[in-house]
Structure 1
Amino acid sequence: MQLTNRRYIGSKTKLLDWIFSEIKNNTQGKSFFDIFSGTGSIAERALSLYNKVIVNDILSSNKIIYEAFWGKEKINFCLINEYKNLFIALTNIEKENYFSENYGGKYFGLNDAKKIGYIREIIEENYKSKVLNKREFSILLASLIYSMDRIANTVGHYEAYRKISIKDDRFRFELIDLNDYQNKEIEIFQEDANSLAPKIYADIIFLDPPYNSRQYSRFYHVLENLVDWDKPELYGVALKPKPKNMSEYCRNGAAKVFDDLISNLKCKYIVVTYNNTYNSKSSSSQNKIKLEEIEKSLNKRGVTKIFESDYKFFNAGKTDLPNHKEYLFITEVKNEK
């Protein structure tokens, strides 16, 4: 399974060629900082172009995936394959576990949920006993995320499960496909973007922040719960834990937060993607930052060029935007920090 083989709202995978074509034609540099990394597809493409790539995302599930694909720690491939074979060979798990008790028969079939929870316990126990190092732990856990994502009873995210009859016994554990980036300098963070910005310099800083009220930590709460494995009490029909890692970019003060971030970036170029869902009929899809607010913040730092591309947006069924576009802003910074 490749890095981009995920169902994830706002993913820029299909726009990579366009985005990096404009970046290549309008910037120069050797280092690249993806400050809202999401699926990591932008960072993965950047790794083929720049000597140093820095990634950051507030979600634990995304950080684990970055560490799995790009971590520098040496791994024992024979050991990883032993676990793979063990997990593939699992048949009926009789005993219930935290994962199956909460998500079985809802987000996953009951037997599949038992397997997922059982595998998660094995990964945790072997990491705590130091049989697995951190990178090996991350690879197995990321592989579990990708494997279960293929059979989840959802519409592409985990905001809620579908109220339909679930097909069970579909889960199959597969390993992620690792590439060699040992010759690249890679730094991985899990911090609030505005707090991290003043601490990091890169020639090019790429921003794709959330622009509407959809909190990613709530959309992917099942994956976050699986990674953190604190086994909290869950609430409501959707079985969510208490809120954490909530983004200010999904609130009404997003424009001010964005302006603060832009003012503190340390770089030669700022690249921002933006989509025009401010006229959406769905309140959750409506942008919290207006196009002119983006321009105003960027123009404080330098000369800004704007590019646009037609692009199909995430649609939950309430919104119809036939003229939906993706915008790309590239600002050459004049007042470097």
Structure 2
Amino acid sequence: MKATWQTQYGSPDVLQLVDVPKPTPADSEVLVKVQAASVHAGDWHLMRGTPFLIRLMFSGIFKPTINILGSDLAGQVEAVGKEVTQFKPGDEVFGNLSESGWGAFAQYVCAPTDALQPKPANVTFEEAAAVPTSAVAALQALRDCGQIQSGQQVLINGASGGVGSFAVQIAKIYGAEVTAVCRTEKIEMVRSLHPDHIIDYTQQSVIQVGQQYDLILDTAAYRSVLDYQQVLSPEGAFVLVGGSTARFFQVMLFGSLLSKILHRKMTALAMKVNPNDLAIVKDWLEARKIAPCIDRSYPLHEVPEAIRYLEQRQVRGKVTIRV
């Protein structure tokens, strides 16, 4: 089979399309014929091996042990292990392989059954592949970290990105009044997500608006977390999801201390692959309560170009791979 293969850390130039043996599923796995995948920040961090903690936690110190990137996929079950009862050959599935070896940037991949959900029939493979990591991250950030409640004022910074675009939609499902923050050229895309308010940060600072928010979800991390204290209500929550690596680790390491000092919850999302959450997202996707925004789609041999585009941080929604 064809696969995008990596033997060293570095720029997208280290990724090569090669022929590798087609895998065989273990007793509790299924073999998926990949129809589509999507790209997210985890792919470029694993590709580059930065920050260095990524190597310690997920891959090799000196060279990658994960040779085929790609965690989010959608495809058809090709074969099943002898212990598998949930799926059969021909079933359409989608899921997240980040805790089971990655490997979605290939024509075939083996996956444990708990990493997959049935793909809704009313969405395309590319739409389904765009969902697992970003939508589940948005759900966990809002529900678990932010403890979102109906009627709250919620600010989504980075609303045009992969996680941010799902966060706007999910916050609306929970009954919040949502303010989305983006730049001028992305306003039309963000408006399609139906937030209650939009702030163009190139024209007006969130701090200058004067509104206080019960929950702030930051997926961009261009500002210091301390800046948001002016607009975070007493007992409010600030949740950092992505953006600047330095700021992310600041909040992860010192969030508890900051929370005590500032009397407001400060936390960083540590997303967990959760079959139940993927099932929730699948139901929303099927009911069209959420929908991915796909900016660009690339064929398998152009995975390096897809990651280059993502690294520019100008993506509107998601970038997908057609396998």
Q: Please give the TM-score of this superposition, normalised by the length of structure 2.
A: 0.35
Q: State which structure, 1 or 2, has the greater radius of gyration over its C-alpha atoms.
A: 1
